[in-house]
Amino acid sequence: MPTAPAVPPFLRLDHGGTCLVLDLRRGGARLVHLGAPLPEHEDLAALAAASSRWRHESQPDHPPLPSLLPQAGQGGMATAAVRCLRLGQECETSFNLLAATQQGSGLQLQFADAFAGIQVELRWQLHDTGMVSSHCRLTNTGTTPLTVVRLASLALPLPGQFTQVVRFPGRWAAEMREERVPLARGMLAAVSHGGRPGFSGAQWVRLEGEDATETRGAVLGAHLAWSGDHELVIERDADNESRLLMATRLDIGEVILAPNAVHAAPEALFHCGEQGRYGLRNAFHRHALEQVLPRSATSTPRKVHLNTWEALYFNQSLADLCSLADTAAALGVERFVLDDGWFHGRRDDTTSLGDWTPDATVFPEGLSPLIAHVQALGMDFGLWVEPEMVSPDSNLYRQHPDWCLALPGQPRPTQRHQLVLDLSKAEVTDHVFSQLDALLKPGNIAYLKWDHNRELFPLAVRGQAQALAHYALLDRLRAAHPAVEIETCASGGGRVDLGVLQRCSRFWASDNNDPIERLAINLGWFQFLPPRVAGNHVGPSPNPITGRQSSMHFRARVALFGHMGVEADPRRMPAPDFAMLQQHIAFYREWRDVLHEGAWSIPECAEPGVYGWLAMREGRGLALAAQTRLAGTYDVPALRFTTLNPNARYRVKLPEPWPEKAQRYLATPEQWRDGLVLSGAALASTGLALPLTQPETAWLVTLEQLP
């Protein structure tokens, strides 16, 4: 009986609203279609012919086709997906497609270069959420060691309708700032070098067509789910062919494969659709909630936090902390988090990292009395740690100076007066685990804020090993203490990705709690990550980073839209501010099911200084409209809600208290209190003419769909 060919001429996948068609007839894998579903009877050969071009004068006689595995050799002018060295020499590869199989909504492609002794397996999976995941594995089939310099997790030929690239670079206290550039000829690249994703935005990207809006047009988003260094390349050649490549950044010598050994690249994820940024956002959110985040992040209400850092800094005492906890409970806080300064000898940021035992001068009986006090008030207790780091002035470093990342005979430069523990050493991770395990064993700590305040230098050819060891340590700790929630923090948003969020129930979006800055920061994060796991706190005024003074009304309303918390000392708040914050915390607790389980969209407003969100769940909606500057005109354009059911009717209200200055310009206030009934079509076209002229004005809008 004849066997089926190893490589079919075409391969088609349809799942989750995405259709993928590959042409496999020339020994490679050419992407013919990616996006909206095609009719079942579509002629794939005709489709491939319709999208094919003949050779022009400035190409090889047999030009390589755009492939899911671009190569530098054989006339290919793209950045290669695979780059290796053997015996110190560059391997110029010529991969052929050996096998292609389809199983359900997944595909597997096997490429090989027998002469170079390299085999590559590429697996794509279409998910119910509309996301596509990509995995790549490389096997050394040669007889000598092979050094891997690059193995791309994703090498994606880009459909021609994409003309704009939106990147998300930033810095400390100003993360994930949208930066839009044309997709022009040449190369656009981003890379991180500090052993963690950092603030370069190299692992997040969005591409758009010319006419893309919140609800319409071609949009593609991609992410590399990896907590180490990243490499992003977007290039367009003279033939107008565009490609996106995402990979880990490896130092030479970091990955050396013995014969028959395998190296697996981390997962990359992307979504391509025609429903604008709203469709992309909710595909990423749904995927994170359904297939990535721990169950504790998705199945339990997100408790209001109070973090002690900007309330007390290092000035801790048991009496002061108990007093702060009393006031926090009266405010409506549900989790009290003790930040930096609680452990042995830690009176400032120059010492003691690595000595994770309570400081006897502050806690002579350990943390138990404070924890008992907090729990008696009806709150959970959480604790800040930075377990991957060590201070040169610490007992741990004095006992084990060889446990940190360092180069033999070279200086050991510090950052924030600290060094990095080499987690690739089993004795180091065993020690760190034993310290954290001892803290958690009594069972009275519900939450760890896991910080990482230093770039990894020197990497000492340990970047990948460090990231994998970090994952293993988190996995080990979660297995031993499954009820404990962990937050990922790295100088704020320096290590936030879907790799670490498989293991963490929350991320700290930024150390900057200035509400105007947070609106811009969250705009980037919320494009990809669900707000229910984004720490979003009310800070003090003036803000300790920006120096800006903001009303409690504005700070509290911005903090509602995320995982709400407080990063200030409520004991020092004027009584009106305390009452205002207390009211907004109660409002958050009333509406968090909508905020954290609803679909998020951005209301449209032509005024550049206005930021807004709308969360809708089962016919109930809560929206924010926040003005960050003085408007150029007295009458700011209306706020339009374009994602509602146009045929449905909604009762629209403006919850009080209203912005003090802006409310005087509100027409017919009594009608807003009772509620206006408007169709979804009217809310999308006419919208709401809210007073948004003054800076730091924030309106809340509630919507209730009527029968």
Catalytic positions are: 451, 511
Quote the CA–CA distance of 568 and 299 in Å, as a whole number. Answer: 28
Residue 402 is given by DSSP the state G
> What sign does the dihedral 544-549-550-552 (CA atoms) show?
positive
Quote the CA–CA distance of 120 and 136 in Å, as a whole number. Answer: 7
- Tokens 């085999």, residue located: 119
> What sign does the dihedral 182-184-186-187 (CA atoms) show?
positive
Token representation of residue 508: 């700290």
| Residue 700 · residue 654 · CB < 8 Å | yes
Quote the CA–CA distance of 652 and 704 in Å, as a whole number. Answer: 7
Quote the CA–CA distance of 469 and 503 in Å, as a whole number. Answer: 13
Sheet of 10-15, strand order: 10-15, 18-23, 30-35
Token representation of residue 635: 């009458």
Residue 604 is given by DSSP the state B
**6: helix, coil or strand?**
coil
For the chain, the straight-line distance linking the first and the last C-alpha, in angstroms and rounded, comes to 63
Token representation of residue 147: 């050094």
**CA-closest candidate to residue 600, choices 353, 313, 335, 278:** 278
Quote the CA–CA distance of 448 and 450 in Å, as a whole number. Answer: 6
**425: helix, coil or strand?**
coil
CA 219 to chain centre: 18
Rounded to 10 degrees, what is the CA torsion of 402, 404, 406, 409?
-30
Q: Please, which residues bridge with residue 86 across strands?
A: 89, 146
